[in-house]
Amino acid sequence: MLFAGLALSYNLRVILLGVTALGIAAGVLGAFLLFRRRSLLADTLGHATLPGVVVAFMAAAQLLDGGKPFAVLLLGALISGWFAVRAVQFLRRRTPIREDAALAIVLTVFYGAGVVLLSVVQNLELRGSSGLELYVYGMVASMSRSDAWTLAAVSVAALGVVALLFKELRALSFDEGFVAARGLPHRWLDEVLMSACLVVTIAGLPTVGLLLVMALFIVPPATARLYADTLGGTLVVAGATGAVGAVAGALASARVDHLPAGAAMILATSALFFASLVAAPRRGLLAARLRARGERRLAVESQVLRRTLGEGGLDPAHLAGCERAAVQRLVARSALVSKDAGLQLTDAGRERAHALARTEELVALYLERHPRSAPARLLLHVERIEDVAPPETITELERALGATGEVSR
Amino acid sequence: MNALRSEGPGPGGPDPAPAVGAPPAVEVRGLTVAYDGRPALRDASVALPAGSMTAVVGPNGAGKSTLVKAMLGLVPSVSGDVRFFGLPHAEARPRIAYVPQRESVDWDYPIRARDVVAMGLYGEIGLLRRVRREHLRRADEALERVGMGELGDRRIGALSGGQQQRVFLARALVQGADLYVMDEPFAGVDATTERALLELMRGLRAAGSTLLCVHHDLGTVPEFFDHVVLLNRRTVAAGPVGEAFTQPHLEACYGRNVRAAGPAADER
């Protein structure tokens, strides 16, 4: 068992189950937000719950006596989050204000109101008002077993919604115009997605805190984009990243006194993100660096080969630094040989040089014939016209080249 | 003055005779659309006979995309009446396929070509139901028809611009519509794709479908289309290419210095 060596109490295990579900649900929902360019929504939702929590606390202090009004506070958070969603939708659909501004306006107005209310409450010195900070920063230690089960249930329900509406949410996040034109209920789908995010946000408040709950929606999908090529894969990686980060953060928070769980989870998740950013195969920074170096080398090598072909040999004395390295590699691959104090092409090298020259002419012809449609990448990757031009076009160009006999083999 | 029509009876061929008494495929009357209180389109009226292939042309900002989007209810209109095959939009919707501008979506989205095409079947599959192998097979057939039979597994981001446009057309094809509304289908595609798309579209017209395309290249209008709508925030002229695509109309639409050959003609 994963945690066998850690000797976890039953309580902590239940809590870890809860935050695992939270991490998965937030990561998966966050992926859809990311594709809809709406990641900020999670931030707005988190902050917008504050006035609801505080008002609910005041109401509970007046009306109820004693006991921890946990459910009441979450209900308050839900109501104020719901109003925030309505406000965002209203600004977005009915006014010229754009989405990013709408999200920022709602976030600041709601959070500002919440901070004012919070200071009022704390001045009143009501019993238990210090516990409100819990909702701002999050604390695993205070989580009860039933809280954890609720968290797990809500997260699983949200995942169920995603599973049921997978194809619709995929279409919505790829091409909303098409979904609308097709008569699919795109507004309804949008509301469902937002509601799922809202409910998961609220469920995560006591653990993560309202300031940082957004990160569980944003960082895992951003990590997943570095690996996955399919939507399913993105969701899986995002969910896994969210789960690992949440569990690591919760464990740390449970073991270290006064370590806020939200901050610990976000740091753990971010560590995964940064590691991926550097080391992810293909899309990581390291991979990009290596690829760029490979392409640069290839470019210099082809230059050297074509020059040797054109000039019928190469004088090693007239080589720039990077060319010297390229010559060494070409000699090692027996495309070039040293002969009579000069460099000559081998048969294989000659063939390669001819192919390169031909590609170059094809590209030139392509740009001349189809200036509108020639992909910009063509200019950068002279090596691989096959990858950027449709096969029919290549056939056409080759026929045209062959007809004019520009290439001598 | 007559340079335009000197090419004889446009290569678009004789206009397909609409069935007597059949309602037009598209009938727009008095359509007005406003953005931020400014009219983007004023009192536009268009009638397209069933089985026609129509270009919507006009200068930048003339409201070409707005016209088709408002027709399909994608942007709210201030006033106006739109009917398809004599029916209101909601009833005619399953018979209409929309091909958005290629730039309107994020081509980095992690999805395969086949799955994009299968979206054309979502109306038929229904909410909450899964895409089945049968649906993917039909998506592959549609890809085959646009000459991309081998590329169903490709991530859309790895396709060229022309191939992406073909995927969009395949998504419309798989839906089996009677009316195809396309926003700039030829924008930024290679010459081969342009020809392939044109052949396909002509095939659809021959099979009785109606096509409406926002188009940017005046030079190819007489060659590609049989009907034309000249738009500049209002309908300047609309009708068969031979009647509507005239130098006076073009000047009324674009201003004095437009040539019938079109600005993009020097590229071909």
Look at residue B15 in the predicted model and tell me its pLDDT: 47
Is the CB of residue A181 less than 8 Å away from at least one CB of chain B?
yes
- Inter-chain contact A173–B109, Cβ cutoff 8 Å? yes
Q: What is the pLDDT of residues A174-215, one digit of tens each?
A: 999 999 999 889 999 999 999 999 999 999 988 888 888 999
Q: Over 60: is that where the pLDDT of A287 sits?
A: yes
Top pLDDT among B17 and B32 is at B32
Three-state SS for B87? strand
Quote the pLDDT of residue A11: 85
- Note the pLDDT tens digit of each residue in B147-203: 888 899 989 988 888 889 999 999 999 998 999 999 999 988 878 888 889 999 999
A301 alpha-carbon distance from chain centroid: 36
Question: Hey, are the CB atoms on B191 and A369 less than 8 Å from each other?
Answer: yes
| Distances in whole angstroms, Cα of residue A258 to Cα of each of A214, A232, A252, A254, A315 | 21, 38, 10, 9, 71
Chain B interface test: which of A169, A234, A372, A397 (most B C-beta within 10 Å): A372
Interchain CB contacts (distance < 8 Å): A and B? 104
Q: Do A393 and B192 touch (CB under 8 A)?
A: yes
Q: Do B115 and A373 touch (CB under 8 A)?
A: no
pLDDT value, residue A172 = 95
Q: Where are the alpha helices (DSSP H) in A36-69?
A: 40-48, 50-63
Minimal C-alpha gap between A374 and chain B (Å): 7
What is the pTM assigned to this prediction? 0.84
Give this complex's ipTM. Answer: 0.83
Using a CB-CB distance cutoff of 8 angstroms, which residues of chain A are in contact with residue B162?
Answer: 373, 390
CA distance B115 to chain A (A): 9
A48 touches chain B (CB under 8 A): no
pLDDT at A284: 94
What does the pLDDT average to over A160-166? 95
As a whole number, mean pLDDT of residues B228-239 equals 94
Helix axes A40-48, A10-35, angle to 10 degrees: 130
Element (H, E) at A324: helix A321-332
Q: Which of A249-258, A259-268, A384-393 has the lowest mean pLDDT?
A: A384-393
**Is the model's pLDDT at B229 over the cut of 90?**
yes
CB-based contact A228 B110, cutoff 8 Å: yes
pLDDT band of A380, cuts 50, 70, 90 = low
Output the pLDDT for position A371: 67
H or E segment and range at residue A185: none
* B193/A390 touch (CB, cutoff 8 Å), yes or no: yes
Over the stretch A61-110, which tens digit does the pLDDT of each residue have?
Answer: 877 765 556 788 889 999 999 999 999 999 988 888 998 999 999 999 99
B-chain residues near A390 (CB < 8 A): 160, 162-163, 190, 192-193
The yes-or-no verdict on residue A242 having pLDDT over 50 is: yes
Chain A CA closest to residue B91: A183
At residue A375 the predicted structure's pLDDT band, cuts being 50, 70 and 90, is low
Best of A178, A184, A369 to disrupt the B interface (most B CBs within 10 Å) is A178
Q: Look at residue A404 and tell me whether its pLDDT is greater than 60.
A: no
pLDDT value, residue A379: 57
Name the minimum distance, in Å, from the CA of A244 to any CA of chain B. 23
Among candidate residues B123, B53, B133, the one with its CA nearest the CA of residue B93: B123
Best mutation target, B127, B186, B267, to test chain A (most A CBs within 10 A): B127
What is the model's pLDDT at position A45?
A: 94
Q: Report pLDDT for B2.
A: 41
Using a CB-CB cut-off of 8 Å, the residues of chain A touching B130 are: 167
Q: What is the pLDDT of residue A21?
A: 96
In whole numbers, what is the pLDDT of chain B averaged over residues? 86
The SS3 call for residue A306 is: helix
A396 at the B interface (CB within 8 A)? yes
Contacts of A167 in chain B (CB under 8 A): 119, 122, 125, 130-131
Cβ-nearest to A35 among B36, B73, B109 = B109
Residue B161: predicted pLDDT: 84
Q: Over 60: is that where the pLDDT of A248 sits? A: yes
Give, in degrees to the nearest 5, the angle at Cα A330 between A325 and A334.
145
Contact between B171 and A184 using a beta-carbon 8 Å cutoff: no
Q: Which residues of B touch A170 (CB under 8 A)?
A: 111, 115
Q: Do A229 and B110 touch (CB under 8 A)?
A: yes
Chain B positions in Cβ-Cβ contact with residue A180 (cut-off 8 Å): 73-74
DSSP H/E element including B54 = strand B53-57
- Provide, as residue numbers in chain A, all residues whose Cβ is less than 8 Å from the Cβ of B69: 177
The pairing of beta strand A342-345 with beta strand A336-339:
antiparallel
Interchain contact, B127 vs A373, CB within 8 Å: no
Question: Hey, what are A97's tokens?
Answer: 């204000």
Average pLDDT of chain A is: 86
- Give the integer Cα–Cα distance in Å for A145 and A396: 70
Task: Quote the minimal CA–CA distance from B161 to chain A in Å.
Answer: 8
With CB atoms and an 8 Å threshold, state whether A174 touches B122.
Answer: no
Q: What share of chain A is helix, strand, coil (3-state, %, to 5)?
A: 75, 0, 20
How far is the C-alpha of B32 from the C-alpha of B39, rounded, in Å?
Answer: 7
Q: Which two tokens stand for residue A43?
A: 């931030």
Contact A393 B191 (CB under 8 A): yes
How is residue A299 written in tokens?
Answer: 């470019």
pLDDT given for residue B80 in this prediction: 93
In this prediction, residue A207 carries a pLDDT of: 86
- pLDDT tens digits, B199-228: 999 999 999 999 999 998 898 999 999 999
Residue B112, pLDDT above cutoff 70: yes
Say which of B98, B106, B163 has its CB closest to residue A181.
B98
CB < 8 Å to A231, chain B: 109-111
Is the CB of B191 less than 8 angstroms away from the CB of A96?
A: no
Please give the pLDDT value at position A140: 76
- Between A300-309, A385-394, B73-82, the lowest mean confidence (pLDDT) is in A385-394
Distance (Å) of CA A379 to CA A146, A243, A392, B248 = 61, 43, 19, 42
Whether B43 shows a pLDDT value over 80: the answer reads yes
Residue from A161, A175, A230, A388 to probe the interface with B (highest B Cβ count within 10 Å): A175
Output DSSP code: residue A209: -
